[in-house]
């Protein structure tokens, strides 16, 4: 797969105060305001984002790096331990990826309990919904949340167990169609809630924050936008190691490809 690398710290789009109009600011805004922002502000954020990535014409993934989150309370909003990690230690990465599939099917795939259907990198995976998931998928409810447990073996002879809190939100079109030209879209997020436990090898995995936005610039495709901030140390590598950053982004692209393949089957 051909991948284009872009710098996230430049660019301008339509200004919609108080919503940022640069990609770096938009990723941080979406995480911080995922639950509290009004539908109007989220649509303004999407308009700005689409102007920067040109979703209708996007034909290959765009990958980049992101500055660390700088607000501890926002970055670790689900943390259950006493020693809250400093978000400045988490390396940020970003992805914008077109997927040949419709919005509703991707919403089901990205939030369903069986994520091993799309990614064989999990040794074990469990997702327990705290509200009715089918109602959310049917767009009868706006939000759903879940607890999640993962067991992962990395290709450097370490295995860890990690727990997350996640959620998703539909953002409906506005009554003023001109203010929501890209229509309905959804957000998905998760946050590591405590340090992972290494069951094989030695390491530390203390932070992971993910925010994703999925919208449909056309009838037969969606654009998956994701920001991920992670702090992990294992052996001679850590979150800043290019190989780990590339491995993480490749895994996300593999999942997107798998969802697209199933959708088109």
Among 3-17, 65-79, 192-206, name the one with the lowest average pLDDT.
Answer: 3-17
Which class would CATH give 4-264?
alpha beta
pLDDT tens track for 67-84: 766 554 454 555 556 666
For residue 66, pLDDT over 70 is answered with yes
Q: Which residues make Cβ contacts (< 8 Å) with residue 37, sequence separation at least 6?
A: 29, 45
| Mean pLDDT in residue range 16-25 | 79
pLDDT for res 30: 93
Within its chain, how far is the Cα of 54 from the centroid? 19
Average pLDDT over the chain, rounded to an integer: 86
- End-to-end CA distance of the chain: give it in Å, rounded: 20
Q: Rounded CA gap, 97 and 207, in Å?
A: 24
- The CA-based diameter of the chain, rounded to the nearest angstrom, is 55
For residue 256, pLDDT over 80 is answered with yes
For residue 222, pLDDT over 90 is answered with yes
Q: What percent of the chain has pLDDT over 90?
A: 61
pLDDT for res 107: 97
pLDDT band at 91 (very low <50, low <70, confident <90, very high): confident
pLDDT for res 80: 57
Among 1-10, 71-80, 226-235, name the one with the lowest average pLDDT.
Answer: 1-10
Q: Which residues make Cβ contacts (< 8 Å) with residue 60, sequence separation at least 6?
A: 1, 2, 3, 4, 98
């Amino acid at each position: 797969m051909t991948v284009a690398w872009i710098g996230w710290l430049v660019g301008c789009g339509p200004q919609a105060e108080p919503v940022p109009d640069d990609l770096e600011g938009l990723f941080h805004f979406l995480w911080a305001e995922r639950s509290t922002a009004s539908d109007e502000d989220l649509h303004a954020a999407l308009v700005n984002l689409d102007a920067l990535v040109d979703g209708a014409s996007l034909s290959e993934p765009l990958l980049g790096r992101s500055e660390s989150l700088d607000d501890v309370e926002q970055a670790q909003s689900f943390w259950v331990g006493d020693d809250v990690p400093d978000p400045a230690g988490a390396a940020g990465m970003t992805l914008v990826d077109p997927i040949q599939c419709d919005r509703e099917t991707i919403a089901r795939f990205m939030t369903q309990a069986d994520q091993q259907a799309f990614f064989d990198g999990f040794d074990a995976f469990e997702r327990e919904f705290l509200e009715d998931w089918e109602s959310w998928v049917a767009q009868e409810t706006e939000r759903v949340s879940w607890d999640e447990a993962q067991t992962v073996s990395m290709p450097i002879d370490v295995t860890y167990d990690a727990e997350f809190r996640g959620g998703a939100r539909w953002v409906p079109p506005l009554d003023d169609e001109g203010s929501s030209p890209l229509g309905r879209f959804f957000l998905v997020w998760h946050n590591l809630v405590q340090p992972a436990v290494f069951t094989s090898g030695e390491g530390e995995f203390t932070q992971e924050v993910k925010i994703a936005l999925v919208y449909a610039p056309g009838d037969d495709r969606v654009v998956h936008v994701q920001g991920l901030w992670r702090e992990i140390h294992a052996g001679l590598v850590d979150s800043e190691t290019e190989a780990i950053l590339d491995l993480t982004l490749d895994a996300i692209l593999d999942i997107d490809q798998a969802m697209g393949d199933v959708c088109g089957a």
